[in-house]
Amino acid sequence: MDQKRDKSEILLAWYDEHARLMPWRVPPAQRQLGVLPDPYHVWLSEVMLQQTTVAAVRDYFVKFTQMWPTVSDLAAADDGDVMAAWAGLGYYARARNLLKCARVVAHDLEGVFPDNEAALLKLPGIGPYTAAAVSAIAFDVPATVLDGNVERVMARQFAVMEPLPDSKEALRELAASRTPQNRAGDYAQAVMDLGATVCTPRSPHCGVCPWADGCVARAQGIAAELPKKRKKAKVPTRVGVVYVARRCDGAVLLEQRPDKGLLGGMMGWPGSDWAQTQIDHDQPLDANWRTLPETVRHTFTHFHLHLTVMVTNIPDDPPVFRGVFVDSERFDANALPTVMRKVWKQAQLALIETGSDR
């Protein structure tokens, strides 16, 4: 038995016993009987899991597949409904690309996902990782799936000292060197499970690792130090202003953000641009605005955001320069992006306390 096969079979034996249960996953015992997962489920879960934890994704996946059981159902959905269902998962460009991809698959490919990386890469929003994951997990193609968990496992197995992201291609080649021809989907998920549950970022559980023998970093006593990463640049802080207006009938003023950019296409409170220094901007309507004493703070991937919150109660239906009033029956704070929900949580009490400002 060659080393590559030996390593993969050891890991697959471990996975057969320890595979995590996921609502989008077909357990290894069923896969070995020839049952493969729905490619729609694999693709949907992989898009959701980008930069998001499994725990956070589970309920969203169940909700999406209940609302839109097939890729054609999702393709026919209203953009606003999909963005509202996505609210809270973050990285909203993923939701926009989700719809674009679903519509290409539904309209141009008759609802059938391609079964190879090259064709998958041509679809909107699908990059090398997602193409490899869908190929392997949905179709058992021996594609090399490289996420953060796999990078960590390979960096430790081979004691790769070069820091990420510079070592990414080297780690991909090492991962490819162990990818078997058989049970490619189970193997891809096994390596990711190994990184998520055993070869963890801090305090790896080397004593129970199926790949402990032959792990170079473990032998050198440096497993917990790998993979090395470049020192991160200081995260900048941006500031902005948001306006929360409520009419006497309970309607609130909202506006849809531009399709491009952060929170693209989502509903939110009117406000200024977000910049490193406060910039001039226009109020969404003439009113007696009150500034709340505490800012709302939120962190995106590349910057911290501090928002000054302005609130007002409106007794009538004034002219609006930006946004539209949404009736209280139709307003759902849970459909707002997380930062906008934080604003609403802080503004609610102030609106109740102040009553009518005009």
Catalytic sites, residue numbers: 46
Length of the chain: 358
91 vs 63: CA distance, rounded Å: 18
Among 238, 294, 227, residue whose Cα is nearest residue 261: 238
DSSP letters, 152-220, are HHHHHHTT--SPBTTTHHHHHHHHHHH--SSSHHHHHHHHHHHHHHTS-SSS--GGG-TT-TT-HHHHH
Among 285, 220, 276, residue whose Cα is nearest residue 251: 285
Residue 63: its H or E element? helix 54-67
219 vs 159: CA distance, rounded Å: 9
Instruction: Report which DSSP code applies to 333.
Output: G
Pairing mode of beta strands 237-247, 304-314: parallel
Question: Using alpha carbons only, what angle is made at residue 141 by residues 71 and 111, rounded to the nearest 5 degrees?
Answer: 15
226 vs 152: CA distance, rounded Å: 7
| Coil vs helix vs strand at 247 | strand
138 vs 186: CA distance, rounded Å: 10
